[in-house]
Chain A
């Protein structure tokens, strides 16, 4: 008789796998990557490629060092490192020195993910940690942004000192960009992946439509950030659109804060997480006058285990335990 598989129920399962989910996320990142390449030229492609390859290779090398056979690594390859690598690359200024994305990706994969036990075991989002690592280590390089400019394929960058976000909080700097510019990313100085909000939004809509992320959470995060910024600036609603359209808020809200591993699992927990994240982002931006999204997400990531520990769902049919008065 043939051999049969012998395992616990259920015996049929959803076709969705971790690998499938990660491929979907990578697909959703593509519009922003393509727009980034169009805006910043082939150097952007090079940066993205270095970051992604470094991420994938460092995962493979790490597992080879664990004496995992290469065939098993290939079989179990779940594309999380591709997503991490792409995100690290998207968080780099296009004309960054080649070793920055390389080191950031290696840090993200090896130190943040693999050392903790691989996919699903990391405490903070690897891409965010990679970005923060690069900002701290190469502060000068990471904050000199070229401006997005269609047709800069030849490599001629328009260098801009003030980012729109900096201008928002600093009256000395002038911002000549309109909200539409910010939305489309034309002429906006910034990193590869976060200048064009339209492309990020497109990716976000794709993820929601495919059921990978819940549309609620990015909206909550972005809305709370915008509204709290308005509140902090004397309820001046002129702050709303520029505050949500500048900086890395869209990239962070759609692709990084919604990372499964580092966000809570319950609905209430997610509300708490994303509302706090929004308040923190707006508050920190106000205080520091510069972009704080990645620091805020990194910080809030650390609270996720705590949220999941205290926000426990009540089972169906739960009854409050009747308090029995003790006789004295």
Chain B
């Protein structure tokens, strides 16, 4: 079975939501739609307080350069543009919407699947599609690479424990996902399409196989199998040079959920304002896979899933390996968020760090073959140049080092600090 060097086996806990069909989350009274929910400049609002908007209507348009359109998730009235904290705890601008009693939706003109590559790319830009794997890179920009590309890799690894949103999409909407994948390939003008899926999703592998021109690769279940560089290595045996992008290795990587959003935008003319997410963890009364509108406050999502149990110690936006810990439920959902987890004391590790014993486990397991213990050490003493020497800038923050650390060193935190300080210096 194909894989990469390093990494670690993390108990995946996917059984909590693996077999649950995607449910539609009902409309809630209020939405907070972030103006920056992608990499790049925040979108510019095109509505003002008091405006009536329809579901799917453009409410903020992409700024110059790297940015993405944002559409209204619901039919209602704009209350205003407010400052709120996002999952990272940074104050950002949000459009506050109040849902109206009756619902009306607008959509773009559906395109036929015979449309040109340029039409697909401009439709993706129009629909505000961003990478739904977590980073939120505007997809239209990604599909116009500056280097020659010959392969499209679709990331169906979903190596984060607990999460099943991509898995369920592949199982329930495989036809749509495959058509979306073909549209992306057409936009890129590539012939070879590879879908990488981890071996712990046999049903998804079965559903995705047998489509002409789409090669499904079964990958070993190992974290971080879905990390871009690891996935490229495992599927097509190409290395992305340090500090460069996948297109420098002749590939473009997109996520399953992104492919589905592309299908929806091109074939149905529906912009990206709904997404599938997994709500899981033993701190949630009824774990679910739900299709939810962007801008829904987490409190509503948690309430829909039966609330939190008393022994919840940690709430996470995203997966347990790379997600962000949050301290309140006022945070509103953004496009790239694939999951919300409530972990109990038994699941989340809350031990405090002690001295590093140089066991070298982080070095053995680092998929980027860095030396995380020294990055942590030099960052802790403020020597950022040496932190870079041991690989701080090549780190993708997958968290394998901190996962295997018996001393519970906050290595990922150190890496982020080192990156921040280096950037500050420049």
Contact = CB atoms under 8 A, between A and B. Distances in A.
Interface of A: 1-2, 4-14, 16-18, 20-21, 76, 78, 117-121, 260-261, 263-266, 308, 312-319
Interface stretch (B78-86, B117-125, B344-352): B344-352
B290 interface: no
A12 B321 contact: yes
Contact of A121 (B10, B355, B374): B355
A155 B391 CA distance: 59
Chain B residues touching A, range: 35 or more
B408 A313 contact: no
Nearest to A80: B357
A13 B363 contact: no
Contact of B412 (A8, A120, A261, A312): A8
B313 interface: yes
Most buried by B among A8, A12, A20, A314: A12
A84 B312 CA distance: 39
Given A4-B315, A18-B407, A20-B406, A315 B360 contact: no
B186 interface: no
Contact of A13 (B312, B369, B403): B403
> Main SS of chain A's interface residues?
loop
B404 interface: yes
Contacts of B315: 4
Contacts of A118: 355
B390 A5 contact: no
Contacts of B410: 7-8
A120 B407 CA distance: 10
B356 A120 contact: yes
Contacts of A319: 241-242
A2 to B, nearest CB: 7
A266 to B, nearest CB: 6
B397 interface: yes
A313 B363 contact: yes
A314 B416 contact: no
User: 5 closest pairs, A vs B, by CB?
Assistant: A10-B399, A120-B355, A13-B349, A265-B360, A8-B413
Interface string B353-391: 011111110010001111101100000000000000111
Nearest to A311: B371
A312 B315 CA distance: 37
A17 B416 contact: no
Most buried by A among B316, B341, B355, B367: B355
Interface string B257-296: 0000000000000000000000000000000000000000
